[in-house]
Amino acid sequence: MNQSQLENIIREKQSFLCVGLDSRVDLLPASVGNRVEDLLEFNKKIIEATSDLAAAYKINTAFYEQYGTEGWGILKETLELIPDDCFTIADAKRGDIGNTSSMYARAFFENMSFDSITVSPYMGSDSIKPFLEYGKTVIILALTSNAGTVDFQHLESSGKPLYQHVLETATGWADTDQLMFVVGATRADHLQKIRSIIPDHFLLVPGVGKQGGSLTEVSKYGMNERCGLLVNSSRGIIFASPGEDFATAARNEALKLQKEMAQHLI
C-alpha cells in the first residue's frame, strides 16, 4: 500500500489510528495462554476486533526478535493476518552503512512485504537510500516522545535543534509519497514548528494516551490536507483488559479513538 492508498483508507474508515502490536507474553490474558506461541492467537483476536477501525498496524520487531526464530515466525504470520485495507509498519528502527541497510530493506520489503519501516537517520543518506529503492514508505525518526530526546534531538547546531536539521535534510532524499516522519505527540508547540518545515508529509505520532499526548492538539497542529497523520496506540488498546473480554475491550478503546478522529478529519 502506498500513501495515496493510505489517504483513501483514512477517509473511508474516518480513522487515522495505528494500532501497535507490542504484544508481550507476560501480559497475555489467561484465556489465551502464557506461551510464546500464544502471541499469534492474541494478535489474531486483536486484529479481528480492530481492523475496521484502524488505518494501520505497527509491529515493533523487538517484541518478537527476543524469541529468536520462533518469534520471527510469529511476526511474519501476524503480518499475514493484517487485512489488505490496513497500512503495515515494521517498527524496526534500522539504519547502518549502505550494504547493511540493503539487507535490512530486503528482509522487510521482500521477505516480509511490509508497506513501510522505521529507520534511524543518524548515519546519513547512504544508510537510508537502500530502503528508498523499493518505492515503499520510509519512516524517519525525527522527534520521538521518550524522555531521552533531550540528549541529542534537541541539541542546537547553527541556531536550531538537531531534529529540525534531520527534517530539512531528509526531505531532499525522496518525495512526500515515500517519506514519513516519527514525531512525538507530547508537545504541541513542536508540532507547529515541524509542520512549518514539512507541511505535506505524513507523520507517525506516538505518545497519545499513556504518554500524555492530546489527540485534539495533535489534530489541530499536525493535520494537513492529506490528513497527514497516523496516531499510534499500543498498550492502551491491546492491553485494555487482562480478562477474557480483552478483544472486546481493545475494540472499545479503538472505537473511542476512531470516533474522536472522525470529528477532527478535515
The residues annotated as belonging to the active site are 93
Q: What is the DSSP letter of 127?
A: H
Q: How many residues does the chain have?
A: 266
Place of cell 492474541: 42
Query: How many Cα atoms within 13 Å fall on the side-chain side of residue 160?
Result: 10
CA geometry: angle at 9 spanning 105 and 205, to 5°?
Answer: 60
Query: How far is the C-alpha of 251 from the C-alpha of 266, rounded, in Å?
Result: 24
Residue type (1 letter), 39: L
Nearest to 134 by CA among 166, 90, 168: 90
**Neighbouring-strand partners of residue 227:** 224
Query: How far is the C-alpha of 64 from the C-alpha of 71, rounded, in Å?
Result: 4
H/E run at residue 141 = strand 137-143
Measure the CA dihedral 266/90/136/257, to 10°.
-10
